[in-house]
Structure 1
Amino acid sequence: MELWQKVEGVSSMESLADFLQSASEDFRNNPEGWENRDLESFLEAMSAWISGSDAWYERFGLPQPPDEAWALVANAVMAASMYE
Structure 2
Amino acid sequence: MNTKSKDVNEQIEFGLDSIDSEKTIEIKLKDFMLIYKTFQEFNRFFHQPMHFPTIEDIEVYLGNKDSGAYSMISKIYYQVLDKYLPKEIEDKFGEENDPFHCPDYPYYYKVKSDENIDDGTIRVTDRESFSAFVSNLLNEYKKEGSKWENKRIEDFIEGISAYAQDIDGYYENMKFDTSSDTPTWRIFAQILKGATVYE
Question: Does TM, scored on the shorter chain, surpass 0.5?
Answer: yes
Partner of 1:38: 152
Please, which runs of 5 or more residues in structure 2 have no aligned partner? 1-117, 189-199
**Distance (whole Å) between structure 2 residues aligned to residue 54 and residue 16 of structure 1:** 20
**Larger % of helix: which?**
1
With the length of structure 1 as denominator, give the TM-score of the two structures: 0.67
Bigger Rg, structure 1 or 2: 2
With the length of structure 2 as denominator, give the TM-score of the two structures: 0.31
List structure 1 runs of 4+ shifted beyond 2 angstroms: none
Q: Alignment partner for residue 64 of structure 1, among 147, 170, 179?
A: 179
- Percent identity reads 24
Please, which runs of 5 or more residues in structure 1 have no aligned partner? 74-84
**Distance (whole Å) between structure 2 residues aligned to residue 62 and residue 16 of structure 1:** 21
Question: Which amino acid is 2:160 matched to?
Answer: M
- Which protein has greater RCO, CA pairs closer than 8 Å, 6+ apart? 2
Could you list the per-position Cα deviations for residues 33-56 of structure 1 after superposition, in whole angstroms to 9, with x for gaps in the alignment?
211111110011111111111111
Could you list the per-position Cα deviations for residues 55-78 of structure 1 after superposition, in whole angstroms to 9, with x for gaps in the alignment?
1122231411425x59xx6xxxxx
Partner of 2:131: 17
What's the RMSD between the two structures over aligned residues? Answer: 2.2
Distance 1:25 1:62, change over 3 A: farther
